[in-house]
Amino acid sequence: MKGTRVFQLTALALVVVSVVQVGWWLFDQRAYAIEKVDRARQLYAQQIQAAQALVDSGATPNSVSAMLPDVVIDGKHASLSPAVDRMLLTEKDRRIRQYAWEGGFFLLALAVCIAVIARALRAEALVRQEQESFLALVSHQFKTPLASLQLSLETMAMRPLSTDQLRTLIDRMLADLARMEAMVTQILESVRLERGRVDLRREPLELGGAVTRVLSHLEERARKERITISTDIEQGLYVLADPLALDVVVRNLVENAISAVTPVGGGTITLGARRLDGEVELSVKDTGVGFRPADGARLFEKFTRLHPGGGSSYYGTGLGLFIVRRLMQLAGGRVSAHSAGVGQGAQFVLVWPLASAEPT
Amino acid sequence: MSTPAPQIRILVVEDDPHLAAGVTENLRAEGYEVISMGDGKPALEWLRDQPCSLIVLDVMLPEMDGFTLCRTLREQGNSTPVLFLTARGDPADRVRGLEAGGDDYLAKPFHLQEFLLRVRAILRRWDWYRSSSDTPSGAVLQFAGNEVDFRAFRARAWNGVVQELTEKEAMILKVLAERPGEIVSREDLLERVWGYDVFPSTRTVDNFILRLRKRFERDPANPRHFLTVWGVGYRFLVEGES
């Protein structure tokens, strides 16, 4: 990495030096072309002077023209032949044009080189910066469950505890481990998605069936938290998506909704789908903690946790919605978040391309 | 483990439920009364009319972060000691926490024994400060026209200007005033006021002495009460150097 950077910087320096050199060469060649034509004009001026002297001494114009063919005699006045004058002018213009084209081409090629190298350097710096902040954020996210684990273990080592207290601590530690494992999974998933290393299928999927499948895994948790989940999805609504990705995005949104409703002591989550113009829209609406409308876009950025203290989203990594957005983008769809404000509930809307026909 | 008096009440502000439960249970096992909260805002509300001896405060909280809570408390004149617990453990963050008015700073993950030790150390320092400020002779310090009220963290300087003292300034003044005329080393001041390893350098003490001179000396450049003993520490003279 460092070697590449040194190489890039050296190349950039060489190209910049070359630009200066080409610029100087161009300037020098132009001056040379002008000087060359000027010198020719001086030589012709000597011929004109000689011709004028001959004319003044009584030589006939014809004899003078025979001796000095580039000079014309107009009565008693000698001057340079218009053809030669034109030739000199043309020669000067031709040379200057030639150097301008050649030099210009070189300069253009060098400018492209500079742009390419500068772009590579900038992109590399950006990647490095992102990696550093990603690492800082990831390690920061791990410190809290690690601290909790350490505290539980040291409590066990330091204090005499009853069986019930031990059980509580063991459950807590297992939950901390599960939390870290979920974090690792999500981090790897987000890195994979970010680098585009995913091969998503695009096939017609029945939305109602997919949503029912996801809900069947979450219903018990919702019931425990006194949350009612209702759906309003017409049968036979097909979307173009990857079956696994569809599962992940719907599960993420419903889990988030449960986490948002839990701290307010129960409520409802409503899933509704409708056909739009060439698309299918699925909305997940909850009566939970909501968020400030201004935070709607920020929610989908990496490591954004608006309510880390709110209910079961305690364990959120801040990567779930980032993954949802990326998967929706890759599926050719989109996702958006809406809330009237904190305490006002929230609505997440997923939009997929409509599948024209059922799978055969 | 020693059992402290039951009235010592500690507020734990931590948004992670497992960590909050672990810290709370351990402090309770040590005999403290513990109140636990998940965010800075309810903590600030609660502290408005509830006293406590120590706040164990997480830095990254959902709505109001720990630094803001601590700063707000100090602005409101609340001098309850604060022990920061945070995942951000780099030196710049430690300094930020102490500048916000924190008394100590512990990075996550931490050792339980060390945490409890630090809690005890902060409580001991404040216990000493409060008990010695409670006696009629210890509550007020008068010197050279200055009058310092240790309980209110307030002073009236020789020129009549009322000065609001920070807890650290008041504590340093207290340590010096308890031993008038004696040489007090920088290390001694650090140990008594900050604890063992909070600040990396004894220069911090020098800065606080400069601040005290500005507040109370008629000519801070030529101090007569807060004297430097080169290479050792400081000497406080009530009467002033003749």
- Say if B38 is an interface residue toward chain A (CB within 8 Å): yes
Count CB atoms within 10 A of the CB of residue A342.
16
What is the spatial distance between Cα B53 and Cα B169, in angstroms, rounded to a whole number?
Answer: 19
Write out chain B residues lying below 8 Å of A151, CB-based. 19, 22-23, 26, 109-110, 112
User: Strand A279-286 vs strand A267-275: parallel, antiparallel, or unpaired?
Assistant: antiparallel
CA dihedral A31, A32, A36, A39 (to 10 degrees): 60
How far is Cα A159 from Cα A167, in angstroms, rounded to an integer? Answer: 14
d(CA B225, CA B191): 22
Q: Whole-model pTM?
A: 0.64
Q: Least CA distance to A176: which residue of chain B?
A: B18
Give the ipTM of the model, two decimals please.
Answer: 0.78
CA distances from A48 to A39, A89, A212, B190 (A): 14, 18, 104, 101
Residue of A nearest to B25 (CA): A155
Cα B178 versus chain centre, distance: 18
Segment B11-69, tens digit of pLDDT? 999 988 899 999 999 999 999 999 999 888 899 999 999 999 999 999 888 778 899 99
> What six digits make up the tokens of A287?
């009566």
Coil, strand or helix at B181: coil
Per-residue model confidence as pLDDT tens for chain A (360 residues): 567 778 888 888 998 999 999 889 988 988 988 898 899 989 999 989 999 998 888 888 888 888 888 888 888 888 888 888 899 889 888 988 888 898 889 889 999 999 998 898 888 888 777 777 777 777 777 888 899 999 999 999 999 999 999 999 999 999 899 888 888 887 888 777 777 667 788 889 999 999 999 999 888 889 988 999 999 998 889 999 988 889 889 999 998 899 888 888 889 999 999 988 889 999 999 999 888 888 888 888 877 666 544 333 445 667 888 889 988 988 889 999 999 988 899 999 999 998 876 554
- A33 and A92 Cβ atoms separated by less than 8 Å: yes
Question: Per the CB < 8 Å rule, is A143 touching B60?
Answer: no
Are residues B54 and B10 in contact, defined by beta-carbon separation less than 8 angstroms?
Answer: yes
Residues in chain A with CB shorter than 8 Å from the CB of B109 are 143, 146-147, 149-151
- With CB atoms and an 8 Å threshold, state whether A148 touches B19: yes
E strand spans, A234-266:
238-241
Residues whose CB is less than 8 angstroms from the CB of residue A163 and which lie 6 or more positions away in sequence, other chains included: none
pLDDT at A12: 87
> In residues, how long is chain B?
242
Q: What radius of gyration do chain A's Cα atoms show?
A: 40
C-beta atoms of B87 and A310 within 8 A: no
When scoring A148, A168, A289, A291 by the number of chain B Cβ atoms within 10 A, the one with the most, hence best to mutate, is: A148
Instruction: Note whether A239 and A246 are within 8 A (CB).
Output: yes
Using DSSP, state whether A306 is helix, strand or coil.
Answer: coil
Among candidates A140, A175, A309 on the partner chain, residue whose Cβ is nearest the Cβ of B18: A175
